[in-house]
């Protein structure tokens, strides 16, 4: 196997632009995730992801709908770190095990409103954003807005960036996330 060329940076070894971002992450989470340590190789990528994900968190989509977007992207792109991390987040939010299992397995969700988010995100990904008017109407019919439709695109962008970068760097699963490990059985 070819050795991994990506460094597990610390704030001391990281490029200058990544140090403050790593320190802020460590203060916020109480630890430095291994994925952040590897993404720190590119201060621009790390800052870009943190800004985009922060903007997505501030969107008008509710927290559960945002997690549906994230896990839809993470399973589609087979990012084991992202699936585990956001499974843990759903668990902390009190999401039911059926919802979590369906998202991890790429199955239709029982909750029609959340399924509309999942289906719309998959449609946007499959069409590179050229959504069918019927698909948009179906999304809107579940109480979502056109603003929410664009926020789904924001979430897709933010988490496509992180899932691809985490896969490229072969970011390892942090020990804290071991109970949420995912075997990659994506939809």
CB atoms within 10 A of CB 187: 12
pLDDT of residue 184: 78
**Percent of the chain clearing pLDDT 90 (strictly above):** 94
User: What is the secondary structure of 49-64 as a DSSP string?
Assistant: HHHHHHHHHTSSS-HH
Cα–Cα distance, 33 to 171 (Å, whole number)? 9
Task: Quote the radius of gyration of the chain (alpha carbons, Å).
Answer: 17
CA 65, chain centre distance (Å): 12
Confidence of residue 185 (pLDDT cuts 50, 70, 90): low
| pLDDT tens for each residue of 53-66 | 999 999 999 999 99
CA 53, chain centre distance (Å): 8
| pLDDT tens for each residue of 68-104 | 999 999 999 999 999 999 999 999 999 999 999 999 9
Q: Taking residues 17-42, what's their average pLDDT?
A: 95
Query: Whose CA is closest to 39, among 179, 168, 126?
Result: 168
pLDDT of residue 3: 81
For residue 187, pLDDT over 50 is answered with: no
**Residue 182: is it exposed, middle or buried by C-beta count within 10 angstroms (0-12/13-18/19+)?**
buried
Cα–Cα distance, 121 to 84 (Å, whole number)? 20
Average pLDDT over the chain, rounded to whole?
95
Cα–Cα distance, 177 to 175 (Å, whole number)? 5
Confidence of residue 11 (pLDDT cuts 50, 70, 90): very high
């Amino acid at each position: 196997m070819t050795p991994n060329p990506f460094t597990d940076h610390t704030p001391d070894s990281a490029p200058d632009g990544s140090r403050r971002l790593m320190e802020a992450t460590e203060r916020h989470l109480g630890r430095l995730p291994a994925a952040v340590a590897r993404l720190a190789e590119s201060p621009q990528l790390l800052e870009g992801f943190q800004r985009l994900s922060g903007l997505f968190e501030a969107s008008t989509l509710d927290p559960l709908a945002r997690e549906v977007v994230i896990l839809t992207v993470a399973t589609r792109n087979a990012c084991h770190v992202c699936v585990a991390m956001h499974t843990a987040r759903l668990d902390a939010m009190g999401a039911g095990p059926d919802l979590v299992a369906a998202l991890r397995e790429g199955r239709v969700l029982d909750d029609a409103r959340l399924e509309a988010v999942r289906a719309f995100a998959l449609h946007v990904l499959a069409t590179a954003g050229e959504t069918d008017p019927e698909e948009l109407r179906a999304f809107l019919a579940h109480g979502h807005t056109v603003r929410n439709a664009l926020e789904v695109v924001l979430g897709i962008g933010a988490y496509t960036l992180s899932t691809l970068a985490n896969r490229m760097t072969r970011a390892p699963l942090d020990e804290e996330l071991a109970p949420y490990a995912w075997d990659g059985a994506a939809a």
